[in-house]
Amino acid sequence: MSSLAALGRSPADQAGCTEAPVLRERGQREVFCGLTGIIWLHRKIQDAFFLVVGSRTCAHLIQSAAGVMIFAEPRFATAIIDERDLAGLADANDELDRVVGQLLARRPDIRLLFLVGSCPSEVIKLDLSRAAQRLNRTHSPDVRVLNYSGSGIETTFTQGEDACLASLVPEMPASVTSAPALLVVGALAEVVEDQMRRLFAALGIGPVAFLPPRRARELPAVGPNTRMLLAQPFLADTARALEARGAVHLPAPFPLGAEGTTGWLRAAAGAWGIPADRSRAVTEAGEQRARIVLDRHREALAGRRIFFFPDSQLEIPLARFLARELGMRPVEIGTPYLHRAHLAAELPLLPRDVLLSEGQDVDRQLDRCRAEKPDLVVCGLGLANPLEAEGFATKWSIELVFTPIQGYEQAGDLAELFARPLVRRQKLRV
């Protein structure tokens, strides 16, 4: 039984928000730093290292966000810009070369080094692109040096991953075959990636590659034969770079919940001409398992009103999942950027009466949130504590990126992330 039938929606509702007006706001924003993406990316690319060129504040941010113990050996660090660099008493490029040399001598396992720009390095106009080219000449072929910006001045925090993956695209080899190949784009936890590989194999889809790969020298080939399936909705620059090299985007809902995962897999199955009955046979068991687990959280979530502040760009697929599979009622779905081509399969599945907003004027949005009095607010860390103090239950949007939430087996974990603050609040009232 489809989730549309399960929720008693009429066929007319399938238009969803495809043609709905969007409230576009351009004002003061609450954003989190794009450097945060390093926390999940450094776990994914196992022989890469992320060297942030920034301040002590950048170092404290990453260390705090990662929760790394002092004796750990993480694959990231900060080359700190200090007063001597800012005053021009030291050559920042010479200092950077020295730090990179020390790092590579200490960590000979590094095969890919990212120089990650920050607000401080961009303010002092340190050209990390040219630095990466210079360091490549010194350290190649043993180590490839790339650069991207993790600055939070103009971007939201998930765009750090987008910038990182976009920097990898020029390094991908050109495909030399005409046979179709599937490229899954977006960092997924290894357990999720393994699950997806098994499902694609059962469907008869292949070869399948993932970007980013687990090893830096395993970058997949790309070309006109490449069919691209996005695993995350915040990869606009990466998708554009892949399309420029010939890859074809497969429109699909994102793999959140039972319905989203099935739609995502079937988009690939359709591109490979897999018969519908075979596709159903492969996805039916996983979808059923996910629905059984989701039913456990329905009592806590059904009928509850939820308000999304723009933060991660996951807001629209999350709202679709919560509304259609758990019966929640989105009041406003705010997103930093609304990419209609990438969300074409999501927008028709949203409730027709929800307000969509793009960008942010934080004071106005706070006023709308207070007026609506939602049961749960999804927002960034900067707004969560003040809203909790006002009596709102909140969910940190960054937790939805740190946690494996894609696929059938993780659907229950995703639902629990939203149920937990409501259950906790209920227990505190007893």
* Residues annotated within a binding site for [4Fe-4S] cluster: 33, 58, 119
Q: Which fold has domain 3-30+287-429?
A: Rossmann fold (3.40.50)
Q: What is the CB-side half-sphere exposure of residue 59 using CA atoms within 13 A?
A: 10
Please write the tens of the pLDDT for every residue from 1-50.
Answer: 233 333 334 334 456 778 788 999 988 877 778 888 998 999 899 999 99
The larger pLDDT score, comparing residue 323 to residue 65, is at 323
Q: Is 257 left (phi over 0), alpha (psi -120 to 50) or beta?
A: left
Across residues 309-322, what is the average pLDDT?
96
Residue 3 has a pLDDT of 36
- Given a contact cutoff of 8 angstroms between Cβ atoms, the answer to whether 279 and 348 are in contact is no
Residue 332 has a pLDDT of 97
Residue-wise DSSP of 76-120 = EEEEE--HHHHTTSS-HHHHHHHHHHHHHHH-TT--EEEEEE-HH
- Given a contact cutoff of 8 angstroms between Cβ atoms, the answer to whether 333 and 319 are in contact is yes
Residue 31 has a pLDDT of 75
Give domain 181-277's CATH architecture. 3-Layer(aba) Sandwich (3.40)
What are the start-end ranges of the E strands in 1-83?
Answer: 22-26, 48-54, 76-80
Average pLDDT, the chain: 90
Q: Is the pTM of this model over 0.75?
A: yes
Q: Looking at the domain covering 34-155, what would its CATH class be?
A: alpha beta
- Given a contact cutoff of 8 angstroms between Cβ atoms, the answer to whether 349 and 324 are in contact is yes
Residue 81 has a pLDDT of 82
Whether omega for the bond prior to residue 141 falls within 30 degrees of 0, making it cis, is: yes
Across residues 222-248, what is the average pLDDT?
97
Residue 84 has a pLDDT of 60
Q: In the 8-state DSSP scheme, what is residue 175? A: P
pLDDT at position 70 over 60: no
Q: Are strands 329-335 and 305-308 parallel, antiparallel or unpaired?
A: parallel
Whether omega for the bond prior to residue 255 falls within 30 degrees of 0, making it cis, is: no
pLDDT at position 295 over 70: yes
Phi, psi of 231 (to 5 degrees): -95, -15
pLDDT at position 141 over 80: yes
Q: Which runs of consecutive H residues, i.e. helices, occur in 214-354?
A: 236-244, 257-271, 276-301, 315-326
- Nearest of 176, 221, 162 to residue 401 by alpha carbon: 162
* Spatial distance between the Cα atoms of 79 and 59, rounded to a whole number of angstroms: 9
pLDDT at position 90 over 60: no
State the pLDDT confidence band at 89, using cuts at 50, 70 and 90. Answer: very low
Residue with tokens 């946690």: 403
Please write the tens of the pLDDT for every residue from 334-392.
Answer: 999 999 999 999 999 999 999 999 999 999 999 999 999 999 999 988 899 999 999 99
Q: Is 193 left (phi over 0), alpha (psi -120 to 50) or beta?
A: alpha
* Residues annotated within a binding site: 33, 58, 119
Residue extent(s) of CATH 3.40.50.1980 domains in the chain = 3-30+287-429, 34-155, 181-277
CA distances from 34 to 146, 151, 236, 279, 423 (A): 17, 6, 15, 38, 31
CA distances from 319 to 3, 58, 348, 349, 400 (A): 14, 32, 12, 9, 13
Which strands make up the sheet holding 355-360, listed edge to edge?
Answer: 22-26, 355-360, 329-335, 305-308, 376-379, 394-396
Q: Are strands 181-185 and 112-117 parallel, antiparallel or unpaired?
A: unpaired
